[in-house]
Amino acid sequence: MRTRMPWTDQTAAAKEWFESLRDRICAEFEAIEREAGSDAGFDYIPWDRETEDGTEGGGGVRGVMKGKVFEKVGVNVSTVSGEFAPQFADSINGADADNPGFTATGISLVAHMANPHVPAVHMNTRFLTTQSAWFGGGADLNPPIPYEEDTEAFHARLRAACAAHNPTYYERFSKWADDYFFIPHRGVARGVGGIFYDHLECEDLDQFERHFAFTRDVGEAFLDAFPAIVRRRMGQEWTEEEKAAQKEWRGRYVEFNLVYDRGTLFGLKTGGNIDAILMSLPPEVTWS
């Protein structure tokens, strides 16, 4: 049996970083609202993870803002621990029915925009430990009305973040995003991609530092790229037809998140906060 390292200090360091990234992202989004003449701000709701045996299971903070530019944006941070249910443990890297223990810390963000010319976006990064320890995450752009300029700018910034760490990362992780963020029953992509990575294994402290540095750069790339796109598009006028198309497009986003998304399943299977898990769902949506 593989010996499980405690990774206590490393989990704490990752948690601190995710919380600091949350603070900077939320401050930037609130600044955008001010530029649009809105006084909207984030409401922060702490929550504790419920466990079946009543033991301490960690928790997190759900941050939500509804404003003039951001129709609904959620930024969640959480740090949870416990044991996977036996039937779920076998599906998780480094876990099984005999070794169901885990810890997980991360940040997750989804923004749905009022203006259909401004793309929706998803970003998350996380550090998990079972009998293994690894980083995962990524970011992807989801425009109802795609603009090549925005797509290229988003990908260019993620490409640069990847190149600073491994020349193969962008090609591998952008393809992974294209494959993952796909709706099989519709035969369409959820958006215009980005990067997605998982199981960047940490077998020792050197690997932890390397993968943690990459994960931090993914967060920095998102913070650099997405607000610039929002500012570029948020003043554009839109028609009722474009707004209707946005709401129908959001239906595809809902279908993916409820049927295929691993993060949604992980949260539901580990006793996460329901409102935090489902904050990814848009405020208004239609199906034709």
CB 198 within 8 Å of CB 126: no
Average pLDDT score over residue span 231-259: 96
Catalytic positions, written as ranges: 122
CB distance 79 to 11 below 8 Å: yes
Long-range contacts of the stretch 34-41 (C-beta < 8 A, 24+): 35/231, 36/67, 36/68, 36/69, 36/234, 37/68, 38/67, 38/68, 38/69, 40/65, 40/66, 40/67, 40/68, 40/70, 41/65
Please tell us whether the domain made up of 8-280 is placed in CATH 3.40.630.30: no
Hey, which of 48-62, 135-149, 268-282 has the most confident mean pLDDT?
135-149
**Which pLDDT does position 71 carry in this prediction?**
98
Per-residue pLDDT reduced to its tens digit, 165-197: 999 999 999 999 999 999 999 999 999 999 999
3-class DSSP state of 182: strand
Note the residue count of the chain: 288
* pLDDT attached to residue 275: 86
| Residue written as token pair 């994960």 | 215
Domains of the chain, residue spans: 8-280
pLDDT band, very low/low/confident/very high, at 4 (cuts 50, 70, 90): low
The Cα–Cα gap between 266 and 270 comes to: 6
pLDDT of res. 95: 67
pLDDT of residue 274: 86
The pLDDT value recorded for residue 52 is: 63
The answer to whether 11 touches 208, Cβ cutoff 8 Å, is no
